[in-house]
Amino acid sequence: MTSATAVLRRTNVLGVATMLLLLGAWELLIRVGLLDFQNLPAPSAVAARAQQLLASGELMTNLLHTLRVTLLGWVLASVIGIGLGLVLGLWRPAWRWSMASFELLRAVPPISLVPLALLVFGFSVRTELTLIVYASAWPVLVNTIEGVRTVRPELRDVARTLHLSRRETLLKLTLPAAMPSIVVGLQLGLSLALVLAVVAELVGNPSGLGNALILAQLALRPEEMFAYVFTIGLLGIALNAAFRQIVAWTLTSAKPLPGKVS
Amino acid sequence: MTVERSADVSSAALGTQPRSVACQCRNASVDLGSRAGPRRILGDINFDLHEGEFVAILGRSGSGKTTLLRVLGGLVDPTPESVVTFHGRPVAGPPQDVVFVFQNYAASLLPWRTVHNNVALGLEGKVPVAVKRARISESLATVGLEARAADYPWQLSGGMQQRVQLARSLAMRPRGLLMDEPFGSLDAMTKASLQDQLQQVHQHTGATIAFVTHDIDEAVFLSDRILVLDGSPATIAHEIPVELPRPRDQLATKELPEFLRLRRQVYDAIVETGD
Amino acid sequence: MTVERSADVSSAALGTQPRSVACQCRNASVDLGSRAGPRRILGDINFDLHEGEFVAILGRSGSGKTTLLRVLGGLVDPTPESVVTFHGRPVAGPPQDVVFVFQNYAASLLPWRTVHNNVALGLEGKVPVAVKRARISESLATVGLEARAADYPWQLSGGMQQRVQLARSLAMRPRGLLMDEPFGSLDAMTKASLQDQLQQVHQHTGATIAFVTHDIDEAVFLSDRILVLDGSPATIAHEIPVELPRPRDQLATKELPEFLRLRRQVYDAIVETGD
Amino acid sequence: GGTESGSPGASSGATASAEAETTALRIAFVPATTALPLHVAQAQGFFKENNLDVTLTQAANISDLPSTLGRQFDLAIGTATDLIRAGTAGLDIVQVSGNTVSTKENPFVQVIVPPGKGIMDFGDLGGKTVGSPTLSGVIHVGTLFTAKKQGTDPATIRGVEAPSPTLPDQLKGGRVDGVEALQPFASQLTKAGNVSIGDPFSAIASPLATNFYVAQGEWAESNKDAVERFVKAMEQAADFIEEMPMESRTILQQFTELPAPVAATVPLPTYDFDIRTEDLDKWVGVLKELGQLDGEVDTGKLVLSER
Amino acid sequence: MTTLGVGPADAASPVEPGERRRTTPARGTRTGSLPPLRGLLPLVVFLASWQLVASRLSPFFPPPSDWASALLDLSRSGVLLPAAFATVITFLLGLVAASVLGTVLGLAVGASARTDRALQPTLEYARAMPPAAVVPIATLLLGFTGTMKVVVVTSAAIWSILLNTRSGVRQLNPVMFEMARSLQLGRFERVRKVTFPALLPSIFLGVRVAAPVALVITLLVEILTQVDGVGALIAQSQRNYEFAQGYGLILVAGLFALLVNALVSMLQARVMRHRPPA
Ligand SMILES: Nc1ncnc2c1ncn2[C@@H]1O[C@H](COP(=O)(O)OP(=O)(O)OP(=O)(O)O)[C@@H](O)[C@H]1O
Ligand SMILES: Nc1ncnc2c1ncn2[C@@H]1O[C@H](COP(=O)(O)OP(=O)(O)OP(=O)(O)O)[C@@H](O)[C@H]1O
Ligand SMILES: [Mg+2]
Ligand SMILES: [Mg+2]
């Protein structure tokens, strides 16, 4: 196979087509005047503006900031989520004596932590990280707990009769068996990390895409604002694609089965 | 498989000298839940497994063979008054040096590990890497799957999966083997060859083996003693010693009049049950 | 089971008149993925199943019996040049009126449904409620599980689960049955009784049956024809017609010289394979 | 968006003679015309002249600022209602200088409604939905107060929040019946055919201080001298804005990044850096009248004493 | 993976080593996913120590006793109850809509690789949208209404259900589907009788992750738009520097989430009571 067809095979033609279709519909609605709002520019105008921002390097600077903080926050949240999830999932007393507290904390809106975080960290990247970690650790935590607690009994029997140590059982059996669930948690956490990075940049740390977005809005440049909105969405797609790719490379256990379903 | 234990053990395995008790079962009863509340599945099971003995367990479908094996393997708790020991220690959890071969082989393999790594599971960190590798190839060769080491379990046929589980158990060189219909999904030829292999392993390592099967020929061919379960709750309805000379041969042994007599005896014992 | 079809069908099932073709297999090949890319599992399989015929499929472990059955059942796509038809229509997805009995019986039962409701699964909404109930009790009785109707599959022994799956297939009164080692986990007695039941069902309903087994006696006892798979990719290495009179009897038929001859012939055919 | 202009390190070495007395000030602002004097003072060197080394940091939302005073920032823009509420809540925050005042002639904000909906004045707002940038802020409080003065129960006005720049679209889309529009949105909306029903502040007073600079009380007490120099610089800046509107609007355009035509035409607010305690008292009265405040408030404690 | 998680079956109930060897897997003991209330102890200890040191903290950290009195005042003034009602309604509608849509979409993209590929970028784009960017557009299209709130909540809460369902579909044992096809179950029947029950554990996991998210987003929309609800009150409290009231409201929201979680867990235990004990 030539590299060109390989590239073609790997790009998600169908997915890209769906998105283009939606964008086309939006453009059309604006062109025929069905949608006519100052703050809702046509995709073509947004693209033009995005090109300028790209050329000036402004977009890249903001993108890199958000990307870096998102990844850092996500990694921290994942480590906390998986670590705590393992403790709570595998050690029942810990679960019994603290899970209700976590369930309650889970419902605290990250945005209402902003005044607190500002008080402690001021407008800074630490405020941003706090919000990201706080919000994106939850799905990882819950999916990890659930994953490790629902390993099939047959596999537990296998581990026991093969005399695997606790550590071995965890590493070779419980974790791989829980991996699909944990992967979903991580995937949810990743998107949340991005969302919260942007939110934090709107309110708590004046840098990155979120800040650029709000400034563009305040500066009455809807095209620019949407250029950033698109960038955020595309960043979401890219992060997820990268995540899936890494999962596919590293975790055989997360691979779907060959088999007709439904 | 290579010879591992010393000669005295293998002579012990020949079943002539008095042997020490490997596993004891006194008044073992088991209750399991059903729609109508807990039901007694096994009631007052009493028997000993001697060191190096090969015991076959037979019985009608649902009579409690798997449950009995799981009690010995520490996977099911018997009622409190039951006394079950393995290698001298009371069974609470799977006993050391004893490996279980599950009836539901498909569920006992890790789908995310290749055949090779499934076999490796019980050895990792316990033996040096070189030894591990050697044992894995050896036991895969024993079950005729050396060519499929790199495949995943779900790429194998049912019988192949069953053999992978077998290879995993053999690679561990256990002192005790609890096998639940290990050859149930195999064709006659593969089965015969694995019976021979198992016999060899048994003779060389002097392992104590409890073996559930529905194949009467197989039970007589392999074992030193046959237990037939029956009743509700199940008890040991029959205990049939098998005193055929070892080593046994697929053709010669099966033509012995004693073999045919035993076969008939076991058959009658099973026919008698469940009526 | 009660007689359902008319007399002419059951006379057809006796195997004397020329019968119409129920299932056709022409140049059927199958590729499945392995570590080293797609591998041809079946190569150019050719045979017909006649209406009301009972065909047993034998072969070494991993030879491709399950795969062949899955092709007939529309669960695996053969290569494009293959031609497979059932009841005159090309197979694309499970054909109408044909039921599959899976080798992995544990995975084919729904754990959240009782035994009764698992058997009901294929009938719901297709037959009136009263008929459904009657059929379920009848088929559970056939497999000896009427007492366990209210239990969940995971409360049953392996052999019992296998029988539940069987009961489910029988309750559907299919025109075609594709059975993958349906009696593999059963003791000799239960197996014999189910063989008799299956024979009766076959005679009364005139269903076309393809039956994978490792038990040579069983294959000869039940079938009209035996196919032995062999090779890599697998082809039909032997085709052995079984012309024993029906109805067959566990004792009488098995003592017929023809039975013993066939048994030996099949055994030899299998021994010859895989060398 | 670059967020910090001026750097603490750069200016400190430059003027060696004044080095001893130079005070570093960290000031937060939101990018709007209210922050113009800050930027003019910075750009024209008025701060440096007054031995102030100012760091300007942009924030998106002024209501987040009070908790950072005394920590991350020394000075920030605050509004009258925020200050009064913070004071009653026991926060140590004081007004240190004025900033803008709203007058009849140059109103800070207008309430705009679409034509032909029968809304002629604030009294017609009863039962209507009004879009506001902040419901707890001076603008909405002023609107409610004016409505009450004109005979409508403020409780019947349904206020909803949306960022200022999106309010014109909400009006156009019919999602709200009226919007509280700052400049330049007010002019844009009236140009597009909508109607202004007036200025919500003139019913309280004219002129009326609406936003100003606040600081942590403790800090302000011990830095009265720096505050004085800050006010001086700001007054210089206000003069400059008056004299050099073109240059000033260029600066405005730079830090707000508004489109050039908008920056060139947007009406600028009236700047006044005196502390108008009497205006605070008026705000207290308004809040009380609306039932948003109870108990006595000593407005003298909300401002930096005799600077 | 072939057999991993064959078990909708076995995924049903979590297990701890000590409990697995019980002889009678009696029904009704399946409280596995319902955290006991004693788990609140750490939080209570935390709040108690807060209460003790609160006087030494800034007005930003009022002691929990103040929260209670602030809440009491609020409820006496008759504001709290209608606000709580508005929030609960929005939350429930949003969660239910997210559950239904998430399950349906999750099934669709889980069962068909083609659908998955077609929708993947769009869904992932949508997933990355911060509510702050979504809300102004939602208000523009739907107005400052309850519908707008529910739509925003649904669009944020749907993801955990969708993704968990999708991953669940892929882990099911294919034999189960082959069985259903072989029994000639129609497509709809297959989904209803086989796929859906088999996926219940995944769906419930998704809902348990989604429930607090739905609540958080409900509050957030209310904070951003000030359209009714507890969120609007929280924002007002914070802007009025009535921190005690803000903390009190957040605590109430947390307790409500705990209640919802308990209800979901109980529902799950009830729906899946016939699954094998793990
Ligand atoms: N999903 C799959 N992917 C790849 N290879 C497969 C798959 N399923 C089966 N095979 C391979 O196809 C061959 C035939 O398998 P099949 O299951 O048909 O054997 P079988 O005759 O039924 O054996 P058994 O008696 O052990 O059940 C084997 O080599 C097996 O490894
Ligand atoms: N988990 C369980 N809960 C309740 N009852 C059970 C459970 N497992 C097995 N049983 C019951 O215990 C009895 C014995 O089952 P067991 O699996 O030991 O039979 P078996 O002799 O191994 O049968 P087979 O040959 O069919 O495998 C059966 O009646 C079965 O229904
Ligand atoms: Mg069994
Ligand atoms: Mg097979």
Quick one: three-class SS letters along chain E?
Answer: CCCCCCCHHHHCCCCCHHHHCCCCCCCCCCCCCCCCHHHHHHHHHHHHHHHHHHHHCCCCCCCHHHHHHHHHHHHHCCCHHHHHHHHHHHHHHHHHHHHHHHHHHHHHHHHCHHHHHHHHHHHHHHHCCCHHHHHHHHHHHHCCCHHHHHHHHHHHHHHHHHHHHHHHHHHCCHHHHHHHHHCCCCHHHHHHHHHHHHHHHHHHHHHHHHHHHHHHHHHHHHHHHCCCHHHHHHHHHHHCCCHHHHHHHHHHHHHHHHHHHHHHHHHHHHHCCCCCCC
> Using a 6 Å cutoff on CB, does residue B67 contact ligand 2?
yes
Q: What is the reported pLDDT for D12?
A: 41
Chain C interface mutation, best of E6, E15, E20, E178, highest count of C Cβ atoms under 10 Å:
E178
Below-50 pLDDT ranges, chain B: 1-16
Specify the residue with its C-alpha closest to ligand 2, atom 26. Answer: C159
pLDDT digits (tens, 9 = 90+) for D108-125: 889 999 988 888 888 888
Mean pLDDT across E137-150: 89
Report ipTM (2 d.p.): 0.86
C-alpha triplet D124, D130, D136: angle, nearest 5°: 115
Cα separation of the two ends of chain C: 43
Nearest alpha-carbon partner for A203 in A132, A133, A138, A136 = A132
List the CATH code of the domain at E63-273.
Answer: 1.10.3720.10
| pLDDT exceeds 90 at position A65 | yes
| pLDDT exceeds 80 at position D146 | yes
In chain B, residues with a C-beta closer than 8 Å to the C-beta of E26 are 33
Quote the CA–CA distance of C65 and E173 in Å, as a whole number.
20
- Give A19-40 as a DSSP string: HHHHHHHHHHHHHTTSS-BTTB
Q: Least CB-CB distance to A163: which of B94, B102, B154?
A: B94
The ligand minimizing its distance to the Cα of B65 is 2
Q: Which of C140-154, E9-23, E224-238 has the lowest mean pLDDT?
A: E9-23
The ligand minimizing its distance to the Cα of C65 is 1
**pLDDT band for position D135 (50/70/90)?**
confident
Q: What is the reported pLDDT for A182?
A: 94
Q: What is the reported pLDDT for C167?
A: 94
- pLDDT tens sequence for chain C (275 residues): 444 444 444 444 444 455 788 899 998 899 987 666 788 989 889 999 999 999 999 999 999 999 999 999 999 999 998 899 998 889 888 898 899 999 988 889 999 999 999 999 989 988 999 999 999 999 999 999 999 999 999 899 999 999 999 999 999 999 999 999 999 889 888 899 999 999 999 999 999 999 999 999 999 999 999 999 998 889 999 999 999 998 899 888 988 999 999 999 998 888 887 65
Torsion angle of the four alpha carbons C142, C147, C150, C152, in this order, in degrees rounded to the nearest 10? -80
Higher pLDDT, E134 or C15: E134
> Using a 6 Å cutoff on CB, does residue C38 contact ligand 1?
no
pLDDT digits (tens, 9 = 90+) for A206-217: 889 998 888 888
Q: What is the reported pLDDT for C275?
A: 56
Cβ proximity of A174 and E278 under 8 Å: no
Own/partner long-range contacts of C259-262 (Cβ < 8 Å, ≥24 apart): C259/C220, C259/C221, C262/C220
**pLDDT band for position D224 (50/70/90)?**
confident
Taking the Cβ of residue B265 and every Cβ of chain E, the question of whether any pair is shorter than 8 Å is answered with no
Burial of B115 (0-12, 13-18, 19+ CB in 10 A): buried
Quote the CA–CA distance of D187 and E83 in Å, as a whole number.
36
Quote the CA–CA distance of B173 and B166 in Å, as a whole number.
11
Burial of D217 (0-12, 13-18, 19+ CB in 10 A): buried
Contact flag A154-B102 (C-beta cutoff 8 Å): yes
Cβ proximity of D233 and D52 under 8 Å: yes
**pLDDT band for position E141 (50/70/90)?**
confident
Q: Least CB-CB distance to A99: which of E39, E126, E164?
A: E39
Q: What is the reported pLDDT for C195?
A: 93
Nearest alpha-carbon partner for B78 in B37, B41, B36, B35 = B41
> CA distances (Å), E117 to each of A16, A262, E155, in order?
9, 17, 20
> CA distances (Å), E32 to each of A133, C248, E18, E268, E275, in order?
27, 54, 13, 10, 13
**pLDDT band for position E56 (50/70/90)?**
low
Q: Residue A173: closest CA among chain E residues belongs to which residue?
A: E4
Q: Least CB-CB distance to E173: which of C107, C125, C168?
A: C107
Quote the CA–CA distance of E177 and C66 in Å, as a whole number.
17
Nearest alpha-carbon partner for B270 in B214, B195, B186 = B214
| pLDDT exceeds 60 at position D11 | no
> For residue C23, which phi and psi values (nearest 5 degrees)?
-145, 135
User: pTM of this prediction?
Assistant: 0.87
pLDDT digits (tens, 9 = 90+) for D207-220: 898 889 999 888 88
pLDDT digits (tens, 9 = 90+) for A136-151: 999 999 999 999 988 8
**pLDDT band for position D15 (50/70/90)?**
very low
**pLDDT band for position D7 (50/70/90)?**
very low
CATH class, domain A55-251, is mainly alpha
Substitution site in B31, B42, B45, B67 for ligand 2 pocket (most atoms within 8 Å of beta carbon): B67
B63 C-alpha to center of ligand 2: Å? 7
Mean pLDDT of chain E: 83
Contact flag B110-A176 (C-beta cutoff 8 Å): yes
Beta bridge partners of residue B34, listed in sequence order: B37
> CA distances (Å), D209 to each of C222, D100, D279, in order?
102, 6, 6
In chain E, residues with a C-beta closer than 8 Å to the C-beta of C102 are 175, 178-179
Query: Could you tell me the fold of the domain covering B9-97+174-250?
Result: Rossmann fold (3.40.50)
pLDDT digits (tens, 9 = 90+) for E71-122: 999 889 888 999 999 999 999 999 999 999 999 999 999 888 888 888 888 8
Nearest alpha-carbon partner for D306 in D230, D229, D224, D235 = D224
Nearest alpha-carbon partner for C87 in C62, C56, C61, C52 = C52
The tokens describing A212, both together, are: 């650029």
Report the gap between the CA of E245 and the closest CA in chain B (Å): 52
Q: Least CB-CB distance to D172: which of A37, A214, A222?
A: A37
The ligand minimizing its distance to the Cα of B60 is 2
Quote the CA–CA distance of E191 and E165 in Å, as a whole number.
13
B119 C-alpha to center of ligand 3: Å? 23
Nearest alpha-carbon partner for B166 in B96, B99, B217 = B99
Q: What is the reported pLDDT for C120?
A: 94
Cβ proximity of B230 and B63 under 8 Å: yes
Domain ranges across chain A: 55-251
Q: What is the reported pLDDT for C9?
A: 42
